[in-house]
Amino acid sequence: MVSGDPCAELESIKSVSDVIAPLDGTVVEVNEDIVATPERVNEDPYAAWLVKVRLHDPSSFRQLLDADAYRALLGA
């Protein structure tokens, strides 16, 4: 998985959207429960993870926003 590249797709009734990889890494697990029941993403997006990734550079996660920083960015 390469940062900036699509690593999954989320499909709704009207469209299909790419999920963009935020960091470089190797997918080590896929959440098969979400594959079987994708509506769970809308019910609880934090519990409905898509993939588990082993980062190529473990310190790279520091460049990501946490929930509070994301809300601040949006002005929420």
- pLDDT in the model for residue 46: 77
- pLDDT in the model for residue 40: 87
**What would the pLDDT profile of 21-62 be if each residue is shown by its tens digit?**
999 999 999 999 888 888 888 888 777 888 999 999 999 989
Range 21-48 burial, b when 16+ CB lie within 10 A, else e: bbbebeeeeebeebeeeeeeeeeeeeeb
